Amino acid sequence: MFYELAASSWGDEEIEAMQRVIQSGILTMGENVRRFESAFCEKFGVKHALMVSSGSTANLVGVAALFYKKQRPLQRGDEVIVPAISWSTTYYPLQQYGLKLRFVDVELDTLNMDVSKLKQALTPRTRMVMAVSILGNPCALDVLRAFCDEHDLYLFEDNCESMGATLDGRQCGTFGDIGTFSCFFSHHISTMEGGVIVTGDDETYQLAKSMRAHGWTRDLPADAEIYQKRDDDFYEAYRFILPGYNARPLELSGAIGVEQLKKLDRMIETRRRNAALFVSLFGNDERFIIQRENGGSSWFAFTVILNPKLGMDRKKIMAALKAADIGYRIITGGNFLRHDVIKYFDYDCVGEIVNADIAHDRGFFVGNHPHDLTPQIRRLHEVLDRAAR
Ligand SMILES: Cc1ncc(COP(=O)(O)O)c(C=O)c1O
């Protein structure tokens, strides 16, 4: 394809790292995963990083952990404020743990939660806000953090689309009580499958660590605060304390992650250079609404929404993209409320959901890669310019 939605970010280093793991014969979670976690802590300036099998299991284990905290655990029936656009597995753990979702519309330009609706979203049952930075673009994390502090709410940051993005010089994913990252193919780093949970809180980290692996005590420090170690090695070796999962990553993913992290800054610089070209071509064209950067985006992709005031036909535009061999797709998952699965959720909406529908019906995204995309972006511009006339 002339312009793919995503491209590999691997070089020889990742292949060699995998070969070393295979030769070592230790393939399940071990030293390489620990090395990746330490490198992640250093890179993002966080106290704890826990690698898991995907961004989705990072969200699942992260939400689960908050149900077992000693002080103010989440409880079934509690409410969570969520944006109307995100990936399905931002929402699933909330449903699976019996939480009620309150959907807030997004801004049409940033595509992130419209924080002017936060006050309206708050009820006496609100316990958490789900902050999602869409496609590399930081959401109003500063506002959300202050709101959560003021109302004693958890801030859960699903940063699975925005590794390396910053707001006021601070890394996205580190504003929340918990932050999650995805290392799936096409994301800012790829470990095949993989995800990371970060937190500054020892208890949350220990709960998540136990829940990552069967809810047992292995790997927890002897002085862990979430259980009392006893003096009987036989029973201690298989001691289950929490209803957890197996969300462990493979050693292969840990070893690849170590190599990918070393390249992250360079890859984001390239993504940002591609973005500068994209913005220079589309930024002042009223036919196309492109994502307005809030802070420093790590530009996962380039979104285009056909201006609803101008009545262009998306089908025609998409046919032109197809003919030009340019990949395109819905923006993240579109308006989540429009999916069949919503019938299983306990939810309501805070006011009308208008912009998420516009993004759903009139938007799409094309890829950004950690490689130079000058010819592809220029061609994209020619194709869209002609098709939208
Ligand atoms: C916002 C968001 N959360 C969670 C996920 C899930 O990550 P994974 O694909 O690693 O399970 C994604 C996937 O792209 C995502 O975009």
Render pLDDT for 154-193 as a digit per residue (tens, 0 to 9).
Answer: 999 999 999 999 999 999 999 999 999 999 999 999 999 9
Mean of all residue pLDDT scores within the chain: 98
CA of 21 to the centre of ligand 1 (A): 26
**What pLDDT is recorded for position 173?**
98
What is the model's pLDDT at position 362? Answer: 98
Whether the Cβ atoms of residue 348 and residue 105 lie closer than 8 Å to each other: no
For residue 231, pLDDT beyond 90: yes
pLDDT tens profile 18-67: 999 999 999 999 999 999 999 999 999 999 999 999 999 999 999 999 99
Q: What's the distance, CA 164 to chain centroid?
A: 11
161 CA → ligand 1 middle, Å: 7
Pocket of ligand 1 (CB under 6 A): 54-56, 59, 86-87, 89-90, 132, 158, 160-161, 182, 184, 195, 332
Nearest CA to ligand 1 atom 8: 55
From the CA of 182, how far away is ligand 1's center (Å)? 6
- Which atom of ligand 1 lies at the shortest distance from residue 57's CA? 11
CA 388 – CA 170 distance, rounded (Å): 39
Pocket test for ligand 1, best of 52, 113, 162, 184 (most atoms within 8 A of CB): 184
* CA 241 to ligand 1 center in whole angstroms: 28
Residue 6's Cβ-count burial label (10 Å; 0-12, 13-18, 19+) is middle
- Structure confidence by residue, pLDDT tens digits, 111-121: 999 999 999 99
Distance CA 26, CA 212 (A): 19
Global pTM?
0.98
pLDDT bin (cut points 50, 70, 90) of residue 380 is: very high
Q: What is the arithmetic mean of pLDDT over 218-247?
A: 96
Mutation test of ligand 1: which of 56, 63, 187, 365 has the most ligand atoms closer than 8 Å to its C-beta? 56
Q: Which atom of ligand 1 is nearest to the CA of 332?
A: 16
Tokens of 26: 């230790």
**85 closest CA partner among 339, 287, 311:** 339
Tokens of 146: 């202050």
Report the catalytic residues.
187
The reported pLDDT for the residue numbered 311 is: 87
User: Cα of 288 to ligand 1 centre, how many Å?
Assistant: 26
Best residue among 89, 163, 178, 300 to mutate for probing ligand 1, ranked by most atoms within 8 Å of CB = 89
Residue 253: band (very low, low, confident or very high) from pLDDT cuts 50, 70, 90: very high
Render pLDDT for 58-100 as a digit per residue (tens, 0 to 9): 999 999 999 999 999 999 999 999 999 999 999 999 999 999 9
Strand partners, 246: 213
Q: Rg of the Cα trace of the chain? A: 21
What local confidence, expressed as pLDDT, does residue 248 receive?
98
297-314 per-position pLDDT tens digit: 999 999 999 999 998 999
List, for residues 315-339, the tens digit of each pLDDT value: 999 999 999 999 999 999 999 999 9
Token readout for 91 is: 């929402």
Q: Give the C-alpha separation, 296 to 311, whole Å.
A: 32
